Amino acid sequence: MEESETREAVEKVIGRMKNLVNSLEQMSYDSINTTDRLLNLLNRAREYNQVIRDGDLEERIAASEAIGEILDELIRTSFQVNNLSHQLEVETVSQRDTLESICQIIDYLYSLS
């Protein structure tokens, strides 16, 4: 492998690594926001549950409808978490492959010296 080919290979692998790191950072940010949303929804559901126990009939009906809407949102958000988990898995595998490429390049460079 010529020096220019080695340089191009290194630049390509480093570019891929930078893209992977950016993707992982964005997915981490998305995961934090999604889990925050889940926690907020569950807290609201707990508050409405208290209304169902202690409120009058009109308040109970309204609280029950609100809990139904929260459950729908919890399902949608759970699908988002599931999708994020699968994306993180794919990115992690890509990162491992990139690391192997970096190790191969380093081994090659050491063999030249």
- pTM to 2 decimals? 0.71
Residue 14 belongs to domain with CATH number: 1.10.287
Segment 55-109, tens digit of pLDDT: 999 999 999 999 999 999 999 999 999 999 999 888 888 888 888 888 888 888 7
- Token pair, residue 78, equals 């759970």
Looking at residue 1, its pLDDT comes to: 60
Looking at residue 101, its pLDDT comes to: 84
Following CA atoms 82, 88, 94, 98 in sequence, which dihedral angle do they give, to the nearest 10 degrees?
A: -170
Q: What is the number of domains present in the chain?
A: 1
Segment 8-51, tens digit of pLDDT: 888 888 888 888 888 888 988 999 999 999 999 999 999 999 99
Q: Which domain holds residue 44?
A: 3-112
Looking at residue 99, its pLDDT comes to: 85
Residue pair 81/93 in contact (Cβ under 8 Å)? The answer is no
Looking at residue 83, its pLDDT comes to: 92
